[in-house]
Amino acid sequence: MAGSHGIEVVVFDVLGTLVDEPSGLRAAIRRAVPAADDPSVDELLAVWQQHVEREQRRMTQGQRAYANTQIIDAEAARRVADQAGVTDRATVAELSTAGQRLPAWADSVAGLERLGRHFPVVGLSNASRAALLRLNAAAGLRWHQALSAESARTYKPAPEVYQLAVDAAGCPPDRVLMVAAHAWDLRGAQAAGLRTAYVRRPVGDPPTPSDAFDWRVDGLDELVTALTAS
């Protein structure tokens, strides 16, 4: 049965929306390069993020064969290590799994629990299946179902990834709500027919004036209240 807004299932992006990805990566880089000062850590973080974004984009555009996030993160870790002059293999290996140990935002765990009393709640992440399993455990995230873009062998915002959520929901896409802190992610969901909710995070990709999302909220408490209001 749909809620008062016609929503049957709520789907969440994970990286950046429910977990603070930059802070988690910064912490891992600091452990790997303890002598680095703050500007250097930020520079190394940019190396990591730019590699991940570039390679995922190349895959969605058919310029590179699909590789999951464990492979891409290992590549990013090697780039960071090379730039920082880190040669210890164990340190680089530990850094490559940094994306599996990211802290949840303060309202994420309680917000999911509250919302889960009213709706089936699904995680939909670009993280690989194995990485998503460990990330959920480390951050304390609890789902009715967690889906990885690895099952579609591509990355958001490719429509095949959102279709995973629609298929799992078993209802029309306009009864599925996609929640994310990234406007680009919500535009992809919108193009696939899903309803959309933007949640503001310090590290997100904010909407432009031309974006017409169904909800814009400052946090999960506000979203839960909006979705459960009679």
Sheet holding 9-12, edge to edge: 145-148, 121-125, 9-12, 176-180, 195-199, 215-217
Taking only the tens place, the pLDDT of each residue in 132-151 is 999 999 999 999 999 999 99
> Structure pTM?
0.95
Domain boundaries, the chain: 9-20+102-228, 21-100
Instruction: Report the candidate in 68, 76, 229 with the shortest Cα–Cα distance to residue 161.
Output: 68
Cis before 157? omega within 30: yes
Task: Please calculate the CA angle 129-130-136 and round it to the nearest 5 degrees.
Answer: 85
Taking only the tens place, the pLDDT of each residue in 93-129 is 999 999 999 999 999 999 999 999 999 999 999 999 9
For the segment(s) 9-20+102-228, the CATH number from 3.10.20.30, 3.40.920.10, 3.40.50.2300, 3.40.50.1000 is 3.40.50.1000
Query: What element of type H or E holds 155?
Result: none
Which fold does the domain 21-100 belong to in CATH?
DNA polymerase; domain 1 (1.10.150)
Taking only the tens place, the pLDDT of each residue in 17-58 is 999 999 999 999 999 999 999 999 999 999 999 999 999 999
Same fold, 9-20+102-228 and 21-100: no
